[in-house]
Chains A and B, each alone.
Chain A
Amino acid sequence: MKLEVKPAYEVTKSKTGADLLVQALKEENVDTVFGYPGGAVLPIYDAIYRAKDAFEHILTRHEQGAIHAAEGYARVSGKPGVVMATSGPGATNLVTGIADAMMDSLPLVIFTGQVARTVIGTDAFQEADVMGITTPITKQNYQVQSVSDLPRIVKEAFHIAGTGRPGPVVVDIPKDISANQCKDHYDTAFYLPGYQPTTKPNPLQIKKLADALSQAKKPVILSGAGVMHGKASSSLKRFAEKHSIPVTTTLLGLGSFPGNSPLSLGMAGMHGTYSANMALYECDLLINIGARFDDRLTGNLQHFAPQATVAHIDIDPAEIGKNVSTQIPIVANADDALKDLHNQATQSPDHGAWLDSLNNNNKNYPLWYNNPEQEMCPQWLIKTVHKVTNGEAIVTTDVGQHQMWAAQYYTFNEPNRWVTSGGLGTMGFGFPAAIGAQLADPKRAVVAVVGDGGFQMTMQELSVLQEKNLPVKVIIVNNEALGMVRQWQEAFYEKRYSESLLHVQPDFVKLVESYQIRAFKITYQDELVRILPEVFAYDGPVVLDCRVLQEENVYPMIAPGKGLHEMIGVKP
């Protein structure tokens, strides 16, 4: 039964700051807002109510769900994700997602309510120092001090979030600002002399890289998420193919280069492929495009690309030289840099021998697992999902073993189909992110690959699936453990499984069914093979509780402190 709500009185109020905000969002072409109401944002929610179809508002069941959904939306649509939450606990519940978006350079604009200006600083009810809390985890943040600033601040916030190196921007709005009456129009012109991202590369540096390329016998490209932010995937493909340069991607860069290309080495890093890591170890020219040399990628820096000339293309100058010393720095948008480079670089020496040796590595030391007859091996599970979805689904994940298996065994050939929490490694990210991804691309199959641990952190968002009937397919890779924690305890803490086993669990099928969502428990391979085509044909949400082999670990692996060439668990 649904409660029909009608306004108890005629709304005759003249325009408020909140109306101004709704109007500003409309002018930014916002179509979806993820949020959760509360005291300090009541004027804003009232304005949303009165503006009826200004945009779709998705009511998540926790602010963390709202912000992860907005991240998924931003990753898939390329537009800033918009979040709204109330003051105090509403705002603090967003903190994990803001930090996550900051680490993975996702454009978000976050509106938080704040207590009225008259009581700010008095420890008022539901007051939190949002500016102080979010300063270190935002690209920029604002507290609106005058309603006349509001339209300009919204404009600035969207501009800052979505340009240069994308990132989250917080706008904190005191309740009296949104509640008070105001004029119809204010100036939105802004001037940010301190924020002028360089997008065009320096021609001399491009020439330097072209020269280095014409000398290089063992070049390799490392492609990161910056390639996708810069919409440079096709330029990258053209450039790599022209010069036959092998390409490896970071975890977040999966899909920036077609995984099925003969030049693709797959993912590099801690759980990357042997051939990708050996390519980084042996190369004489490393061209990093839009990756930030994260420690999970480089392993021990002493053994990272020891013989290579390092070129780094990044829109954020602060990333260049931060972790790895760089001989050819190029501050630019990835697409502009690649196009200029394509025009400059003419020829490179034949590196057939280099490609052959990498191909041999690929052939001799592939990703591997032992597939039993009946029980489900998690790697097999991902491969099967890949097969059934034709490799075309959008895949979101939490963090942990299932994330690495999805990265290893779901081959991505197109950009913006892989939504994962890389830098911060946030459990609970995958399921709400899938909701945002599905809203951003309603026609495409969206699969949330989650662990039994991570799913239980944000599974209250099942309500959103039910309410909006979003056809997200949730695959719980259930090994009754915090798998990656257990794997590390097994490897480095002599199997002392301290608080990492989750033998007590809800009956996921019953739980999901209580939301009137279809759910199945799958234990054996043939069950999955039978049901998966039906699951993906069905136009609605489905949750699969997949009971996988519990003792399976993620290999190969670079142990902490080890170099790229010291992988363990490589197939002999």
Chain B
Amino acid sequence: MKRIITALVHNRSGVLNRLTGLLQRRQFNIESISVGRTETEGISKMTFVVEIADEQKLEQLTKQLHKQIDVLKVSDITDKAIVSRELALIKVVSSAQLRNEMNGIIEPFRASIIDVSKESLSIQVTGKPEKIEALVDLLRPYGIKEIARTGLTAFLRGQQPAVTELTSYSLLK
């Protein structure tokens, strides 16, 4: 199962290395990782997307992450009401004649063209990974020259559904 795990960490050199090294050593494959600063100075947030075989391994992962001294909080937010987004930049082969057709494809995705050259177009799209996949699939026949994706970043919605049977693995609970 794919899990979305967030970690609040001290913004200290070597922290990313410590956490990714920990995951590698324990044979977790990180599908994506995104890191950035938070509203608090000195604190960064990491969002991991990890493929995990079972609950026992998931518990190990969150516990091991939380054990690290520079980690303040670890949450598995997969089963919560969350907002999650990824940004992708896609460079597609495209001649002038195709521009309108392109526009027709990307418009429903609320993507935008951010760069135009003689032979190519660069498109920016944000959304859930599946949406990005869908757009990439549609663009593929035109010839994709390059894709850059940021990896998923996410947090909890302002309001959580009142009743939930789903477990959280935060150790601070």
Residues on B with C-beta less than 8 A from A135 are 14, 17-18, 21
Also in contact, A317 and B67, with CB within 8 A (given A135-B14, A194-B10): yes
Do the beta carbons of A194 and B69 come within 8 Å of each other?
yes
Chain A residue numbers with a CB within 8 Å of B71 are 194
Which A338-382 residues have C-beta < 8 A from chain B?
none
Q: A317 to B14, Cβ gap below 8 A?
A: no
Contact yes or no, B17 A318, CB < 8 A: no
Q: Which of B13, B56, B60, B69 contacts A318 (CB 8 A)?
A: B60
**Given that A132-B17, A135-B17, A136-B21 are known contacts, is A321 also in contact with B72, CB under 8 Å in the complex?**
no
A401 within 8 A of B: no
Residues of A within 8 A of B66 (CB): 317-318
Chain A positions within 8 Å of B18 at CB level: 135
Q: Which one of B13, B22, B63, B68 has the highest number of Cβ atoms from chain A below 10 Å of its Cβ? A: B63
Contact, CB under 8 Å: B14 / A194: no
For the residues of B in contact with A, the DSSP-based class is: helix
Residue contact B60 to A322, C-beta cutoff 8 Å = yes
* Interface size of A as a range: 10 to 19
Q: Is the CB of A140 within 8 A of B69?
A: yes
Q: Give every chain B residue within 8 A of A193 (Cβ-Cβ).
A: 72
Question: Judging by beta carbons under 8 Å apart, are B63 and A318 in contact?
Answer: yes
User: B56: which A residues are within 8 A, CB to CB?
Assistant: 321, 325
Q: Does B134 contact A (CB under 8 A)?
A: no
Q: Which residues of B contact A140 (CB under 8 A)?
A: 69-70
A316: nearest chain-B partner, CB-CB: B67
What residues of B have a CB within 8 angstroms of the CB of A139 in the complex? 69
Known: A135-B18, A135-B21. A194 touches B63 (CB 8 A): no
Contact present for B59 and A141 (CB under 8 Å): no
| Best-buried of A136, A194, A316 by chain B (most CB within 10 Å) | A194
A95 beta carbon closer than 8 Å to chain B: no
Assess the B69–A192 pair: CB atoms within 8 A.
yes
Cβ of A59 within 8 Å of any chain B Cβ, yes or no, is: no
- Tell me whether B17 and A160 are in contact (CB under 8 A): no
B21 contacts across to A, CB distance below 8 A: 135-136
A509 within 8 Å of B (CB atoms): no
- The digit string for A178-213, where 1 denotes a CB below 8 A from any CB of B, is 000000000000001111000000000000000000
- Contact between B14 and A141 (Cβ–Cβ < 8 Å)? yes
Least distance between B134 CB and chain A CB atoms (Å) = 39
